Amino acid sequence: MSTQTDYYELLEIERTADDGTIKSSYRKLAMRFHPDKNPGCDDSEAKFKAISEAYDCLKDPQKRAAYDRFGHAAFQNGGPGAGGGGQGFEGFTDIFETIFGQGFGGGGQRQSSRRGADLRYDLEITLEEAYNGKRTDITIDVSAACEPCEGTGAKPGTSAKACTTCKGHGKVRAQQGFFVVERACPACHGAGQVIADPCPSCRGEGRVDKEKTLEVNIPEGVDEGTRIRLTGEGEAGAQGAPAGDLYIFIHVKRHSVFQRDGTTLFARAPISFTTAALGGSITVPGLDKVEHEIRIPAGIQSGKQIRQRGAGMPVLQGRGNGDMVVQIEVETPTRLSTKQKELLQQFRETETGDECPESQGFFSKIRNMWDDLTD
């Protein structure tokens, strides 16, 4: 079919079409008639072969010139264009690049998987340390670059050589039916090079297991789950490949006084019922090592929150601090002296109900509800 049908007609283009138009039309048609898109359809398979053959000819300036002059005869019986016809790998590569994205046929790129693995380290700190920040040392077991061979994997004084199987690309191609399959080179395992004389210290790996101590800078204001990245401090890559990164995850211990929500610190402050009734002040030491005076208004109730501006956690990588919120809890005395009981008894005898309007309102509602039920 393809040898009897005009190549320009197959690709649905004019004979004056430029290279960009030829390629664009080929990609569109190849996507439409690809066997994977039309399973079991012999006509689509034949059409796909034909347009691939047409594109293989017209994308090459020399082949196209021969075809324009001699037609299909240019590639038959030793014609001037013979030897380059048929389905070339490049045509298949173009369609795969369209389907899977650029880089499918990038023969010169080695596998990025040779990069060293990233590591995780969990670090527990106190809330005070999260407030002030700190520098600390951590010790990790890690695969590090071999010092004798400087991470190359080759015996000192020697070097790796380009793999003859893949010519240093790290990848090989093979055609399977209509597909061009690209995979890691089996000889060098994707490295693109082979080591004839490996380093005795690392046995050609370019890395060895060792204990490493690192200094970590914990900034002010870190929170639970904050992640600190140390670039290049993860596992060393094989045979000189780049190292991975080390990720330090922060965990903040529970505090005896404060609870944290972002940059806000919450604290519960019990006060006596006399302070709640008459008003006064209490002192709350903050994480900033300042004693904050909290004013208590007369008649305050349990659960009331008082906000102290700027006494909370520092803003991570920013300016200023959050707030400290003190929640008041009125404590009922449980140990009273005889004198105190007498004084409280005298106070109760003077009560009119107006001292506690919420209580008075509640019992008034109860009485009204009872009267409605008994009517």
Which positions make up the binding site? 146, 149, 163, 166, 185, 188, 199, 202
Q: 134, 219 in Cβ contact below 8 A? A: no
Residues tagged in the binding site annotation for Zn(2+): 146, 149, 163, 166, 185, 188, 199, 202
10 Å CB burial of residue 34 (0-12, 13-18, 19+) is middle
Q: Would strands 171-176 and 179-184 be described as parallel, antiparallel, or unpaired? A: antiparallel
Give the containing element (helix H, strand E) for 304: none
Q: 193, 161 in Cβ contact below 8 A? A: yes
Q: 282, 294 in Cβ contact below 8 A? A: yes
Detail the DSSP E strand segments found in the chain: 119-125, 134-145, 161-162, 171-176, 179-184, 193-194, 207-218, 227-230, 246-252, 259-261, 264-272, 280-285, 291-296, 305-308, 324-331
DSSP assignment letter at 34? -
3-class secondary-structure state, position 138: strand
